Amino acid sequence: MINSLVTGGAGFIGSHLTRKLLSLGHNVIILDNLSGGLFENIPKGAVFVRGDIQDRYCVRGLFEANKFDYVYHLAAYAAEGLSHYIRRFNYHNNVIGSINIINDCIRYKVKRLIYTSSIAVYGHLSSFSFTEDSMVRPIDPYGIAKLAVEQDIHAAHEMFGLEYTIFRPHNVYGEYQNIGDRYRNVVGIFMNQIMKTGVLTIFGDGSQTRAFSYVGDIIDPIANCISYERAKNDIFNIGGNYSYSVLDLAHTLIKMTDKKGIRSSGIVFLPVRKEVLDARAYHDKVRVVFGNLPSTPLEEGLAKMWKWAEKEGPKETPKFKDIELTEGLPEIWVKGE
Ligand SMILES: NC(=O)c1ccc[n+]([C@@H]2O[C@H](COP(=O)([O-])OP(=O)(O)OC[C@H]3O[C@@H](n4cnc5c(N)ncnc54)[C@H](O)[C@@H]3O)[C@@H](O)[C@H]2O)c1
């Protein structure tokens, strides 16, 4: 039996991954503090441990008690835009927490650490398609944290022989995503807004583009990479191949949900914020190693997610409790829905 740890397994991508690993016969233990994930997301068959990756004693105890073969490390708070305003929390949670996991992967001789980094490591404010060899120059603390962890994993490999596979997904959407997080996941935010007020909010004019990626298209390579020799100690972009503007996304969703009898009353444009304008990546490398991967058309993926979201119903959008800097914090994050 393969023993796997999934950190962040109560979250969006982590719960899909856990389901996949269970179907492959892994024994899965989830470590999650439920800060972003939900207990209801946890797939039947997984063992759930509520704990924080920042707590090194909790992490150490878990590694001590279980002989993990593989560690899939997904736990993080991935609110890229908000990360400017929660810098200390971002680095503690996403870097120090990850270092606790890396230390114990070394200490307990885990066979491979699989890490979900992000396209945010590339940064760049101008239009660009990234290959894994593109220059990395993150423009926000979230991206900096992801890059720091990637680099630490690389150093741990060089120094201690820790084997790893790193994935850099981007703009993933789908069922089980937290649509009540007001700071992240534009697809989920739009769906929640459609259900709550019918008014969609967009930063700037909506011309910023994203290659939205359906979650079902990225899970298999992440789960199965442990069987691929060529995926060892390497980094892969993974996700959608086609870019859409945020405005296009809004129109597509309005049209799609109108068809189902819910009328969205429109779009409100908010002051522009500093963010990557066009985020897309090449996926030649992941295809060379894993073969052709599914590429769910946007409308199809959105329809699947909407079906699920409608059933779930609208969600509250609580504010982050401990914002560290308020200078330039977007108004919509200060008040209102
Ligand atoms: N969703 C995307 O578009 C996307 C894109 C690129 C990379 N990623 C990365 O993929 C991973 C999963 O993202 P997601 O979208 O599923 O987010 P998510 O918020 O749904 O899942 C993250 C999970 O980690 C848990 N968590 C956070 N901090 C923790 C801590 N200190 N200790 C224990 N658990 C903690 C949360 O409760 C949550 O269940 C993250 O590392 C994220 O950075 C996501």
Q: Which domains does the chain have, with CATH numbers?
A: 3-172+212-238 (3.40.50.720), 178-211+243-276+297-334 (3.90.25.10)
Q: pLDDT value at position 276?
A: 80
The rounded percent of the chain whose pLDDT value lies above 90 is 89
Range of weakest confidence among 12-21, 37-46, 91-100, 277-286 = 277-286
Catalytic entry in 72, 115, 122, 142: 142
The tens digit of pLDDT for each residue in 87-146 reads 999 999 999 999 999 999 999 999 999 999 999 999 876 666 889 999 999 999 999 999
Tell me whether residue 142 is one of the annotated catalytic residues. Answer: yes
Banded model confidence at residue 274, pLDDT cuts 50, 70, 90: confident
The tokens for 88 are 């200390």
Closest to 13 measured CA to CA, from 172, 162, 141, 122: 172
Cβ-Cβ contacts under 8 Å for 202 (sequence gap 6 or more): 246, 247, 250, 267, 268, 269, 270
- Computed over every residue of the chain, the mean pLDDT equals 94
With beta carbons less than 8 A apart as the criterion, state whether 303 and 256 touch: yes
Banded model confidence at residue 188, pLDDT cuts 50, 70, 90: very high
Q: pLDDT value at position 309?
A: 97
Between 109 and 259, name the one with better pLDDT: 109
Ligand 1 atom closest to Cα of residue 117: 7
Q: pLDDT value at position 279?
A: 79
Instruction: Count Cβ neighbours within 10 Å for each residue of 268-277 and write b for 16 or more, e otherwise.
Output: eeeeeeeebe
From atom 34 of ligand 1, which residue's Cα is the shortest distance away?
32
3-state DSSP helix/strand/coil percent for the chain, to nearest 5? 40, 20, 40
Does residue 336 carry a pLDDT above 70? no
Residues contacting ligand 1 via CB (< 6 Å): 8, 10-14, 31-37, 52-54, 74-78, 93, 97, 116, 118, 169-172, 178
Cα of 185 to ligand 1 centre, how many Å? Answer: 11
State which of 7, 12, 173 you would mutate to test the pocket of ligand 1, scoring each by most atoms of that ligand within 8 A of its C-beta: 12
Q: pLDDT value at position 261?
A: 65
From atom 41 of ligand 1, which residue's Cα is the shortest distance away?
74
Q: What pTM did the predictor assign?
A: 0.97
Q: pLDDT value at position 139?
A: 92
Ligand 1 atom closest to Cα of residue 120: 6
Cα of 81 to ligand 1 centre, how many Å? Answer: 15
Cα of 14 to ligand 1 centre, how many Å? Answer: 7
SS3 313: coil
SS3 192: helix
Does residue 307 carry a pLDDT above 90? yes
State which of 5, 72, 77 you would mutate to test the pocket of ligand 1, scoring each by most atoms of that ligand within 8 A of its C-beta: 77
Banded model confidence at residue 334, pLDDT cuts 50, 70, 90: confident
Q: How far is CA 166 from CA 11, 113, 150, 238, 256, in A?
A: 18, 8, 7, 10, 35
Does residue 263 carry a pLDDT above 70? no
Cα of 253 to ligand 1 centre, how many Å? Answer: 24
Does residue 335 carry a pLDDT above 90? no
Ligand 1 atom closest to Cα of residue 169: 6
The rounded percent of the chain whose pLDDT value lies above 70 is 97
Cα of 75 to ligand 1 centre, how many Å? Answer: 5
Ligand 1 atom closest to Cα of residue 215: 1
